């Protein structure tokens, strides 16, 4: 199934935007790319953590 793109618009504090710009610039990225990459990494971390927890439950490790 081909992946498309959607638009997400949000309103953020000026100070936060400046920090995001600084973080993105240090990595040679646009703010948009930096935010998307951060969200993807967080999503992966959540899914990985859930998978580990489910595996531990399955094997009785707590």
- Rounded Cα–Cα distance for residues 12 and 10 (Å): 6
Over the stretch 16-44, which tens digit does the pLDDT of each residue have? 999 999 999 999 999 999 999 999 998 88
The pTM for the full model equals 0.69
pLDDT-derived band at 5 (thresholds 50, 70, 90) equals confident
Residues sharing a CB contact under 8 Å with residue 23, sequence separation 6 or more, in sequence order: 34
- The pLDDT, as a whole number, for residue 62 is 61
């Amino acid at each position: 199934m081909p992946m498309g793109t959607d638009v997400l618009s949000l309103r953020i504090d000026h100070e936060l935007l400046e920090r995001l710009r600084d973080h993105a610039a240090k990595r040679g990225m646009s703010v948009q790319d930096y935010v998307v990459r951060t969200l993807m990494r967080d999503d992966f971390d959540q899914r990985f953590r859930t998978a580990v927890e489910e595996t531990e439950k399955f094997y009785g490790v707590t």
